[in-house]
Amino acid sequence: MTVSQPAAATEAARPKLAFRPLPVPQVDVRGFWGDRVDAVAAKTAGILYDRCVEARMLEQIDPDRPSPGVVIPFHSPSPDEADAQGAEFTGSTVTTQMFWDSDWGKTIETAAYSLYRRRNPDLERKIDAVIDMYEKLQQEDGYLSSWYQRIQPGLRWTNLRDCHELYCAGHLIEGAVAYYQATGKRKLLDIMCRYADHIASMFGPEPGKKKGYCGHEEIELALVKLARATGEKKYMELAKYFIDQRGQQPHYFDEEARARGADPKAYHFKTYEYNQSHKPVREQDKVVGHAVRAMYLYSGMADIATEYGDDTLRVALDRLWDDLMTKSLYVTGGLGPSAHNEGFTSDYDLPNETAYAETCASVGLVFWASRMLGMGPNARYADMMERALYNGSISGLSLDGSLFFYENPLESRGGHHRWKWHRCPCCPPNIGRMVASIGSYFYGLADDALAVHLYGDSTARFEIAGRQVSLVQTSNYPWDGAVAIEVGPEAPVAFTLHLRVPAWCRKAALRVNGKLVDLEAATVDGYAAIRREWRQGDKVELDLEMSMARLFANPQVRQDIGRVALARGPLIYCVEETDNGGGLHRVALPREARLEAHVEPNLLGGVVTLSAIGSRADTESWGADLYRPEPPATKEMKLKAIPYFAWDNRDPGEMLVWLREG
Ligand SMILES: [Zn+2]
């Protein structure tokens, strides 16, 4: 990647304060993100519920209905048959999945955040009914898993490696925290506290407790959220235990397999790199295995590093971050090239057409990057959070909020399209909950500092040093880089405002109440810091030149050599057949071609497109030969590129990010 990353902060420069995101209701987004949140609130949230019902997920969780498990089964997987896709149980009429509790959890979370945007009594009533089912389902001792209670009873806690048991708990916990914060209703939160207490009674360092952790990370970051929402340190301690214990010897997954009479070596994925338990987390130095699992683990590690001030975790995280950024990340912020392990392969292996680049993985990178910012503002993380947000994540959702990508390739011959639903529906509610909660990614609040990580038309409200402050951003970002920020404290209050100056920006200017600030002197780790006593009506103006850029890949990326990707500001661009005709592999962009930006308010909900004079290898003059000693003739053409996230929202056809240069 050519966009240079500021080096990691030195020990001295990094603020010791923890920066926590503002809760979702404290940030109203308008403009670019406002449109997307509206689409999720108006459409996606309801669609998620409806499609969960259509997939017959209610039948798995509702104790008042016959269990799908008693419908004459013709295949019931043993725990060892379960794999990364999650075991399916197919009865005569019903197919059920072991991770459906997680889909309910994320659906509840999306609904919760959407309710801030617009009240929706019908959706709220439906979610309340789902919560009632979970209340009824929960066992006396607090245990709660629709799979192990209704489909495979008697086997709980026997296969943490494959069966998503704690992962499901984690997503229900996240849903519970969001729903409590959105509606004030405690029922699901209380249910999940009881379940978390049960989990804490089963797992931990004390004698007699299991020394395990989940094969699919998620419970760790969820317990941190639960601890923050309830003020209960015990949940934080449990999250820390799961992180500290991961990969220790004797290996829990070996012992667990033997305990159920299975051969640990018969593991479907062969290596514990698949679920990042191949070594203790502090010794890990390469991003490996299943991409979503990796991102969730690192997110939990970053939370614990922040909460406990644990530098040993921070050092490991910085090493892992470097590895991902320099060897395994798509230019779109997508990651995990292979469908085989839904994850990482070898260094610099970034195929474009077959890129798996699961929507959840890019969403997971946003989670990880945002949590790294808990340790202090640093554009090294925030720039990548922005890249993953604006490109590889939101490509997963159609502009109207109704259709979803699972894979996010960087090249298509015309056959790749968003779908209505998936047998493994993890991505739709993941992108739904991320978009609906986007306001919480904008800021980080510390005791006497506020960091602005993202720009965009919005209003935030927060309390700092005992004073209520509003902060209004007026901007047409990301289409335009002018950002006006009005700070409105109820009474004068001193704090430091950290403003990100993205690495992609070649020219930036900052004014406070009209007075130019020396940006170079004020900037540490890619953030300009302004400390002053803020008064009602204080105005900060940040002008970020929306630079257009040609990006080139490290020459070790075999798939991208001789190719160029186009960017403007945080957005990566692509060309589509509908604008450029077919045969996009024959198109080339000369190195010296002038790029132009065009505001197109009526295209794709309003975007800025890029154009240039390019060329296309001619097939007509070539004739029927397969090979010739001369290159094909070329014809001049006008190339038009649109933001990558917006592709496949018009006529179906080819798409290409990395253009041939020449
Ligand atoms: Zn997914």
Kindly give the distance from the C-alpha atom of residue 296 to the centroid of ligand 1, in angstroms, as a whole number: 12
Checking if the pLDDT of 52 tops 70, the result is yes
Exactly one of 426, 427, 505, 574 is catalytic; name it: 426
pLDDT for res 89:
56
Give residue-wise pLDDT tens across range 293-326: 999 999 999 999 999 999 999 999 999 999 999 9
List pLDDT tens digits, range 223-233: 999 999 999 99
Task: Give the span between the Cα atoms of 62 and 460, in whole angstroms.
Answer: 40
Pairing type for strands 411-412 and 95-97 reads unpaired
Question: Which helix or strand (DSSP H or E) is residue 21 part of?
Answer: strand 20-21
pLDDT of residue 7: 38
Spatial CA neighbour of 419 closest among 429, 431, 405, 407: 405
Q: Is 342 a known active-site residue?
A: yes
Confidence at residue 422, expressed as pLDDT on a 0 to 100 scale: 82
Q: Is 360 annotated in the active site?
A: no
Residues 447-456: what's their mean pLDDT?
97
pLDDT at site 6: 38
- How many whole angstroms from 343 Cα to the centroid of ligand 1? 12
**What is the chain's Cα-based Rg?**
25
Q: What is the 3-state secondary structure (H, E, C) of 565-589?
A: EEEECCEEEEEEHHHHCCCHHHEEE
Dist CA 233 CA 577 (whole Å): 54
pLDDT band at 73 (very low <50, low <70, confident <90, very high): very low
**Average pLDDT over the chain, rounded to an integer:** 93
Q: Do 28 and 440 meet the contact criterion of CB atoms below 8 Å apart?
A: no
Q: Could you tell me the distance, in angstroms and rounded to a whole number, from the CA of residue 120 to the centre of ligand 1?
A: 26
In angstroms, rounded to a whole number, what is the distance separating the alpha carbons of residues 144 and 202? 13
Pairing of strands 27-29, 443-446: unpaired
Structure confidence at residue 79 (pLDDT): 39
Q: What angle do CA 185, 188, 189 make, to 5 degrees?
A: 80
d(CA 451, CA 460): 12
Give the pLDDT confidence of 517-557 residue by residue, as tens digits. Answer: 999 999 999 999 999 999 999 999 999 999 899 999 999 99
Query: Is residue 76 pLDDT above 70, yes or no?
Result: no
Largest Cα–Cα separation, the chain: 79
**pLDDT band (50, 70, 90) for residue 460:** very high
The whole-angstrom separation of Cα 188 and Cα 527 is 39
Confirm if 366 and 381 have CB atoms less than 8 A apart. Answer: no
Given 109, 342, 358, 386, which residue is catalytic?
342
How would you write 94-158 as a 3-class SS string? CEEECCHHHHHHHHHHHHHHHHHHCCCHHHHHHHHHHHHHHHHHCCCCCCCCHHHHHCCCCCCCC
pLDDT band at 257 (very low <50, low <70, confident <90, very high): very high
Output the CA–CA distances (angstroms, integers) from residue 658 to 546, 573, 581, 590, in the order listed.
Answer: 21, 9, 16, 13
Q: Which residues of 185-218 are buried (b: 16+ CB within 10 A; e: fewer)?
A: bebbbebbbbbbbbbbebbbeeeeeeebbbbbbb
428 CA distance to ligand 1 centroid (A)?
7
Percentage of residues of the chain with pLDDT beyond 90: 90
- Interval between CA 181 and ligand 1 midpoint (Å): 25
CA of 422 relative to ligand 1 center, distance in Å? 10
* Euclidean distance between the first and the last CA atom of the chain, given in angstroms as a whole number: 20
**Cβ(404)–Cβ(442) under 8 Å?**
no
Strand partners, 271: none
CA of 397 to the centre of ligand 1 (A): 12
Output the CA 425–ligand 1 centroid distance in Å. 7
Write the DSSP assignment of 177-243 as a string of letters: HHHHHHH---HHHHHHHHHHHHHHHHBSSSTTSB----SS--HHHHHHHHHHHH--HHHHHHHHHHH
Burial class (CB in 10 A: 0-12, 13-18, 19+), 414: middle
Calculate mean pLDDT across residues 147-157.
Answer: 93
Query: Distance, CA 367 to ligand 1 centroid (Å)?
Result: 14
Lowest mean pLDDT among 204-213, 416-425, 508-517: 416-425
What are the beta bridge partners of residue 82?
none
Report how far ligand 1's centroid is from the alpha carbon of 403 (Å).
14
Ligand 1 geometric centre to CA of 484 (Å): 36
For residue 16, what pLDDT band results from cuts at 50, 70 and 90?
Answer: low
Per-residue pLDDT tens digits for 358-416: 999 999 999 999 999 999 999 999 999 999 999 999 999 999 999 999 999 999 999 99
β 548-551/563-568 pair status? antiparallel
Give yes or no for residue 5 having a pLDDT over 80.
no
Among the listed ranges 71-80, 621-630, 640-649, which one has the minimum average pLDDT value? 71-80
How far does residue 358's CA lie from ligand 1's centre (Å)? 6
Listed in order, strand segments (DSSP E) in 490-606 are 493-500, 508-512, 515-516, 523-524, 527-534, 538-544, 548-551, 563-568, 571-576, 587-589, 596-600
Q: How remote is the CA of residue 540 from the centroid of ligand 1, in Å? A: 39
Question: 361: CA distance to ligand 1 center in Å?
Answer: 7
Structure-token match 């894979």, residue found: 407
Q: How far is the CA of 130 from the centre of ligand 1 (A)?
A: 22
Phi and psi (nearest 5°) for 591?
Answer: -55, -40
Please give the model's pTM, rounded to 2 decimal places. 0.94
Q: Name the pairing type of β-strands 596-600 and 538-544.
A: unpaired
Identify the pLDDT of residue 335.
98
Residue 468 is inside which H or E element, if any? strand 467-475
Q: Find the mean pLDDT for residues 559-570.
A: 98
Of the candidate ranges 34-48, 60-74, 159-173, the one whose mean pLDDT is the lowest: 60-74
How far is ligand 1, taken at its centre, from the CA of residue 396, in Å? Answer: 9
